[in-house]
Amino acid sequence: MKHLTVILSLAVFTLLIGTAPAHAHGFGERTELPVPLGYFLLGSGAVVALSFAVMGLLVRGTKGSGDYWRCNLLQHGWLRWALTAPALGVPIKLLSVFLLVVVIVTGLFGDQTPSANFAPSFVWVIWWVGMAYVAALIGNVWAVINPWKILFGWCDWIYGKLRHGSRLTPVREYPESWGMWPALILFLGFAWLQDAFPKSAVPVLVAWMAVIYSFVTFTGMAIFGKHQWLRNGEVFSVVFGFLARFSLTEVRVLDPEVCRVCTSGCQDREEAPEASEWDGCVDCYECFEKSSHRQTNLRPFAMGLSRNEPVSNDILAVIILLLATVTFDGFSATSAWANVQSVFLTAFPTLMGNPVINGLTIADTLGVALFPVAFFLVYLLFCFFMSGTVGKSLSALELARTFAYSLIPIALAYNISHFITLLLVQGQLIISLASDPFGFGWDLFGTADYQVYQGIITAEILWFLSVAVVVVGHVIAVYLAHLASMRVFQDRSMAMNSQYPMLTLMVMYTVVSLWILAQPIAA
């Protein structure tokens, strides 16, 4: 297996070092890298491989499943007031709902030029990209400011006032077999809108997307209950929740009575609440809302991904889809994908007489659909190799689930590297659009004439940032995979042997990721 690792690594290095640069796409300038691209790829892959050897020497326990440093912010009076005071919480919730209304109203009635309308820039840049960064680096803010959750809570409160204390109750129990599959289906649809639908930035269509999704979300919460649908069907709660496991903060509840009746089954995460050393449930917002025995903790980055929790097939599928969609979004900016689009566009200039549905749409739709399948098959193949190293004591699918959370730092690293320019450059449009959200020539805040500063990040800075973020993300993934292997395989030698295929996969993906990111930058 060690020989296989070396062979595969050398093969991918040779392939990518010899690849010709693609044409620029999605970035305002190109630059000549200080050394050939192949050296960056080789060096980055070597750093990831070296980190494995270092961790093998230094990391000897199975810490991480709950044994990590944390500091409860709520134990400090002024911080507790800042984090829990209604005087701050209510305005933030009102602002969240107000922004949802603004997106819908400006999209329906404003100027239909995407750059002149508030809705597209806010939804696709500020909210989708920005909230992902906030969730991953700071914490799951979305669990607090989710406008659909807030509106449903208000409806529940009003219903209670009218019905003398009664509350909205679910129409039916959420089917256990559904798991997170509804969220996965909705996420796949969202990815198609983002990466394949050519009219996704048209303001009126953005507004209708918000309206339709609002209807789906309210219906799901009304039928199955607020927390059940947010946990399994509200795609952004699911995605931002996964990313927030990497973040610097967590919420923790130390209340066995509340956790015992929690519909999420949070009591099964490590041990039952009755256990004498029960460590509480983490990141369960259903318990957090109901209990007074709660904490908001600082913690080391990525520790939320190291907890010993069961991973089902639906969770694995959502994580794979998260990683695959952001990778396809980057790959679609390369000349290699442009060549694929050209072939399809030649074969299908239009379809059914509709100029929107053409070869470009077909090619991008196939990319959105097939990239996750390809990612899963490659990941499963390396898990099959891993299974062979441990005498097939666990199947490839069992190992794929075991190491699923270690993929999230990779998805996050690529997300930051790929979208940081979009957020920093195109995100500046929101400054002028705040003053003129409809595109009617208003100047509410005196910022309508603001001009986007293109030089806020240069190609050189972007490239070095991308290299650093991608390499660090993969090193963290190697660390998390090592912790998981030490937990699953109590024998240290078996745990180390099991990681050679995973290391090979991560080295390969490091190289491929940087090659994709370099295409719009490198001269």
DSSP class per residue in 410-444 = HHHHHHHHHHHHHHHTGGGHHHHHHH-TTSSS--S
**Contact, 97 vs 148, CB < 8 A?**
no
Q: Please tell me the distance from the alpha carbon of residue 497 to that of residue 71, in angstroms, as a whole number.
A: 36
Give the domain extent around 357: 47-63+307-437+449-518
CA distance 110 to 207: 10
Q: Which long-range contacts (CB under 8 A, 24 or more apart) does 266-269 make?
A: 268/310, 269/307, 269/308, 269/309
The pLDDT, as a whole number, for residue 167 is: 82
Q: How far is the CA of 328 from the CAs of 313, 324, 337, in angstroms?
A: 22, 6, 10
Q: Which residue shows structure tokens 């070597």?
A: 46
Note the pTM of the prediction, 2 decimals: 0.90
- Asked if 269 and 307 count as a contact pair (C-beta separation under 8 A), the reply is yes
Report the Cα 189 to chain-centroid distance in Å.
Answer: 15
How many alpha carbons lie under 13 Å from residue 58 in its C-beta half-sphere?
Answer: 7
Residue 487 in domain: yes
Cα pseudo-dihedral 26, 406, 247, 188, rounded to 10? 50
For residue 353, tell me if it sits in a domain.
Answer: yes
Q: Tell whether 39 is covered by a domain.
A: no
Token pair listed for 429: 């449009």
Buried b / exposed e along 296-316 (16+ C-beta atoms within 10 A): bbebeebbbbbbeeebeebbb
Residue 190 within any structural domain of the chain: no
At residue 11, the pLDDT reads: 40
Residue 364 lies in a domain: yes
Give the per-residue pLDDT at 478. Answer: 92
Unique residue bearing structure tokens 């993969």: 474
**CA separation for the pair 321, 186 (Å, rounded):** 11
Distance CA 222, CA 206 (A): 24
Per the CB < 8 A criterion, the answer to whether 483 and 499 are in contact is no
Residue 222's Cβ-count burial label (10 Å; 0-12, 13-18, 19+) is: middle
For 436, the token pair is 């003129």
**Nearest alpha-carbon partner for 259 in 209, 296, 294:** 294
- Report how far residue 63's alpha carbon sits from residue 307's, in angstroms, rounded to the nearest whole number: 9
Question: Which stretches in the chain have pLDDT values below 70?
Answer: 1-32, 59-66, 265, 267-279, 351-355, 521-523
**Does residue 284 fall inside a structural domain?**
no
Q: Give the number of domains in the chain.
A: 1
pLDDT digits (tens, 9 = 90+) for 57-89: 776 655 545 678 899 988 877 778 777 777 788
Whether 355 is in a domain gets the answer: yes
Question: Tokens 């509350």 belong to which residue?
Answer: 167
- What the block records as the tokens of 416 is 């930051």
How many Cα atoms sit within 13 Å of 500 on the Cβ side?
17
The answer as to whether 125 is a domain residue is no
Which of 480, 489, 431 has its CA nearest to residue 126?
431
Give SS3 for 134: helix
